[in-house]
Structure 1
Amino acid sequence: MRYWMTAAVAICVSLPTMAGAQNTPANHHDAVDQLSPALARQIDRASEQVLAETGVPSASVAIVQNGKIVYTHGYGKARLEPPTPAEPWMRYSIGSISKQFTAAALLLLQQEGKLSIDDPVSKYLPDLTDANQVTIRMILSHTSGYQDYWPEDYVMPPMKKPTTAQHILNVWGKKPLDFAPGTRWQYSNTNYVIAGEIVEKVSGEPLMKFLQQNIFKPLHMDDVWNSDLHALRETDAEGYVRYALGPLRPAPKEGAGWMFAAGELAMPAYDLAQWDISLMDRSLLQPKSYDEFFQPVMLKDGNSSHYALGIFVGSRDGHPYLEHSGEVSGFVSENVVYPKSKAAIVVLTNEIASPAASAIARALTPIVLASPTPAEAQAMQIFTGLQHGQIDRSQFTDWCNAYFDQQALEDYKNSLGQLGKPASIQQTGKSLRGGMTFRAFRVYFPDGKNPLEITTFTEPDGKIEQFIVAPVPKV
């Protein structure tokens, strides 16, 4: 049950109270397709290109902008036999993205005064290795030292048979720790089996029931499915595996119990996007709980783990993000939330051990976050003009106008014009030098072409002394 982390920067037997969607839920229609046709086409082209390049059968995508779900779409085939087009209401397994729901359950119990996430694990599971030295916060942040029971990207023979959380803890929770608690970060699914067991002991009810009552129902996540206990329905996506460059084949199903609390959930991209909105709005938990939820845990040597409670935390081009990916047999997912930008990207795919979900998320990020600053808008205007061999010389200094002689204009037009209209631009750097303001930009294209870099120098009076376009180094 591996996580697939992006370079910057989403993957159910139903409980008696959880109705399974057989058709597109009516409430999904009202909140989607609010993008302009041009922007929707950019998203479609980028997603379809990644599927074509990777051979992954399908992807389901949900986009959040300005705190609202504005677009959902399915690409490719959710099932190969019989051929079934992917639809946005279909469920996909989300794998390790499930972990943040388990973490939220423990924060809810802390709010109720039933535990503290700084309690030692020994208070609840005293038989585990060094349980008196490991805290709940450590297991939620993967800094405990408990060894991972499933680092592989395939289902091993023992995992095809049913198991229990207690069996996992008896085998992996009682091994010597891989490192002293709090001294290192190392991803481990075992941590979340421990977390799920604590939720059940403290709440007095099954984990899925607790999640349904306290998270899914309040957030109107109506189509969540516990894929740990039962396979997805025929109306949902099917998971696939590919051996080397061979054909796609139905992926084997894990035995019941192996994904408990660490990767058990399946849902449509729409439902995961609703969870993302609750994270950016901080609408479900108390403010202090969200502060702890999103705060990267520090190691004992003072370095950051860059991981909070079930979520990676970082920043991309000035945009803080919360990110996690997930993988279980047949499925890989990617979920990136930009809280300050009120944006999120959910990508669910149905082939194990494939980078397609994260590749789609990377391709969509500049499209979704596109909201150019004045400097970005000016650089984009100049760039698109140069694609046609045109410039407004009043914007440039005499020296820069000399740089853009007839030969330069022809070369810019001939080399850039064939690339088509850019999708977006992002400023990636700014500094002072030589009495001028230096800026660096990245220009992105909707069909997945490699981005280009623009470097500029601007005089205090606003005149542009340099405007140079170059390839982005592949390093």
Structure 2
Amino acid sequence: MSSGHAARRALQAGAAALLLLLTGVATAPAAPAPAPALPPASAAPAAVREGLDPATVARLDAAVTATMKEHGIPGAIIGLWMPGRGDYVKSFGAADLKAGTPMKSDLHMRIGSVTKTFTVTALLQLVDQGRVRLYDPVSAYLAGVPGGDRITLRQLAAMRSGLYDYTGDHRWLDSLRADPHRSYTPRQLLGYAFSHPPDFAPGARWQYSNTNTVLLGLVIEKISGQPLHAFLQQHVFAPLKLTSTSLPTGSAFPDPHAQGYTAFTPDGAITTATTWNPSWAWAAGAAVSDLDDLHTWVPALVDGRLLKPATQAQRLRTGSVGVPGVSYGLGIAEVNGWLGHNGELPGYETVAAGLPQEKATLVVLVNSDVDRGGSYSTALAKAVTQVVTPDHLWDLPSPAQVGENQH
């Protein structure tokens, strides 16, 4: 994988997050050298809640532990809620390999591009209030956006603006790799993006770009008069009592939390990214949450609990991303019937999605992104859905496959 493409892994979740959902993901760019294997951690499950039938529980335990062993995943938290069938909530492996601390289901985790679901919800709340319109050009709110008079807020939320993704910029990659504790402002991030020409005309096609969501964060601040983290707290987190969810303004990471392991280092060596500053991801991927909050958030995201029905309908008008079974709406993806998002950034990976047909919710939290071009969270989500919803797999292509489909 090229460093530029790896960079897009830096935060996407879009196409492999769907980029990363589909790729994008949000995982920091790939390291220049292959990473050594992480020390082995026991994947034996620590039971929290089991409401499914014993046979299904046994199959899930086996699928998760086998996937963790195959990929060398240090720790994971799996939450599955299926009304009428039961729940499955377990933690596996280690939260801290050095200390030997087991993973627990109540730990805070960095959730990468799942942040986009919150940011776009905030924008759509402003739409419901009549303070912005989805078809307004971004230039009506922010100056200096290349072609901003032709790029609508809807195109930004749907990943169809054509604006270059700053996480693919080599100068940005070098600066982050050199000092991962550095703080970035949204305008600095946009400076990297706008130094490149747009990749295509607005609306011409779909392409995951974190630049889009950073711009939406600035629009929300401009219209609301509040910092993005404060607006989200007041209008998204508080109404749903998401007490463990926040958008940090620096490297703050609430306790208790898991250590996050990454190979995004100058020499490719594995290290902990736990205290790294996620300001480079901001509105596109800097949020922190936990299993219980995501269990609350996913159904609210899927049913539009914080939005008017017509606005939610707009959100769920998904469009093709060039990969069978996968489409993208407004800050939300559909993967073979599952609605939600995934996210990756140095040290952490997440999947948070719901299956409306069964009113099911799936949350996968992992404390490593040392996945050599794949996705730990996708591998685990696929393993779980193969057992419980084989007709609806959470299955995303690798970044390389996404690239093949996008060009």
Specify the TM-score bucket, using the shorter chain as the normaliser: 0.7 to 0.9
Contact kept in structure 1, 2:76 and 2:365, CA below 8 Å: yes
Distance 2:275 2:192 in 1: 22
1:2 aligns with 2:12: yes
Contact kept in structure 1, 2:115 and 2:286, CA below 8 Å: yes
Distance 1:210 1:125 in 2: 18
Q: 1:268 aligns with which of 290, 299, 302?
A: 290
Contact kept in structure 1, 2:251 and 2:277, CA below 8 Å: no
After superposition, the C-alpha distances for 1:58-85 in whole angstroms (9 at most, x for unaligned) are 0111112129982322110011232211
Where in structure 2 are the equivalents of 1:421-440 lying within 5 Å? none
Number of residue pairs the alignment of both structures matches? 346
TM-score (norm 2): 0.76
**Aligned residue for 2:183?**
162
Q: With a CA cutoff of 8 Å and minimum separation of 6, indicate the structure with the bigger relative contact order.
A: 2
Distance 2:179 2:208 in 1: 21
Q: What's the offset of the Cα at 1:298?
A: 7.5
Q: Aligned letter for 1:201?
A: K
Distance 2:307 2:85 in 1: 19
Specify whether residues 131 and 298 from structure 1 end up closer, same or farther in structure 2 by C-alpha distance, changes over 3 A only. farther
**Aligned residue for 2:235?**
214
Contact kept in structure 2, 1:159 and 1:258, CA below 8 Å: no
Q: Aligned letter for 2:204?
A: T
Q: Aligned letter for 1:313?
A: E
Q: What's the offset of the Cα at 1:117?
A: 1.4
**Aligned residue for 2:384?**
364
**Aligned residue for 2:75?**
58
Q: What's the offset of the Cα at 1:248?
A: 4.5
Q: Aligned letter for 2:290?
A: P
Q: What's the offset of the Cα at 1:272?
A: 1.1
**Aligned residue for 2:7?**
none
**Aligned residue for 1:119?**
136
**Aligned residue for 1:308?**
329
Specify whether residues 252 and 151 from structure 1 end up closer, same or farther in structure 2 by C-alpha distance, changes over 3 A only. farther
Contact kept in structure 2, 1:58 and 1:86, CA below 8 Å: yes
Contact kept in structure 1, 2:180 and 2:277, CA below 8 Å: yes
Aligned CA RMSD, in angstroms, stands at 3.2
Contact kept in structure 1, 2:298 and 2:340, CA below 8 Å: no
Distance 1:211 1:2 in 2: 21
Q: 1:339 aligns with which of 356, 373, 376?
A: 356
1:200 aligns with 2:221: yes
Higher Rg: 1
**Aligned residue for 2:95?**
78
Give percent identity, aligned residues only: 32
**Aligned residue for 1:293?**
315
Distance 1:331 1:232 in 2: 13
**Aligned residue for 1:185?**
206
Distance 2:53 2:141 in 1: 52
TM-score (norm 1): 0.66
Q: Aligned letter for 1:269?
A: L
Q: What's the offset of the Cα at 1:118?
A: 1.1
Distance 2:195 2:135 in 1: 21
SS class of match (2:240)? coil
Q: What's the offset of the Cα at 1:98?
A: 0.7
Specify whether residues 290 and 227 from structure 1 end up closer, same or farther in structure 2 by C-alpha distance, changes over 3 A only. same
Distance 1:184 1:305 in 2: 15
Q: What's the offset of the Cα at 1:137?
A: 0.7
Contact kept in structure 1, 2:221 and 2:228, CA below 8 Å: yes
Contact kept in structure 2, 1:332 and 1:350, CA below 8 Å: yes
1:349 aligns with 2:349: no
Where in structure 2 are the equivalents of 1:203-282 lying within 5 Å? 203-227=224-248, 229-233=250-254, 235-242=256-263, 248-251=270-273, 253-255=275-277, 257-282=279-304
Deviation larger for 192-201 or 34-43: 34-43
Distance 2:137 2:180 in 1: 29
SS class of match (2:358)? coil
Where in structure 2 are the equivalents of 1:10-159 lying within 5 Å? 32-66=49-83, 70-151=87-168, 155-157=176-178
Distance 1:109 1:179 in 2: 28
1:324 aligns with 2:341: yes
Q: What's the offset of the Cα at 1:252?
A: 7.0
Higher helix proportion: 2
Deviation larger for 91-100 or 217-226: 217-226
Q: Aligned letter for 1:51?
A: M
Specify whether residues 35 and 70 from structure 1 end up closer, same or farther in structure 2 by C-alpha distance, changes over 3 A only. same
Contact kept in structure 2, 1:296 and 1:308, CA below 8 Å: yes
Deviation larger for 220-229 or 90-99: 220-229
SS class of match (2:285)? coil
Q: What's the offset of the Cα at 1:90?
A: 0.5
Contact kept in structure 1, 2:117 and 2:301, CA below 8 Å: no
After superposition, the C-alpha distances for 1:411-454 in whole angstroms (9 at most, x for unaligned) are xxxxxxxxxxxxxx75x9xxxxxxxxxxxxx9xxxxxxxxxxxx
Q: What's the offset of the Cα at 1:159?
A: 5.2
Q: Aligned letter for 1:289?
A: T
Structure 2: state its 5+ residue gaps. 1-10, 27-47, 394-407
Q: Aligned letter for 2:380?
A: I
Q: What's the offset of the Cα at 1:160?
A: 4.0
Specify whether residues 228 and 95 from structure 1 end up closer, same or farther in structure 2 by C-alpha distance, changes over 3 A only. farther
Q: What's the offset of the Cα at 1:269?
A: 2.0
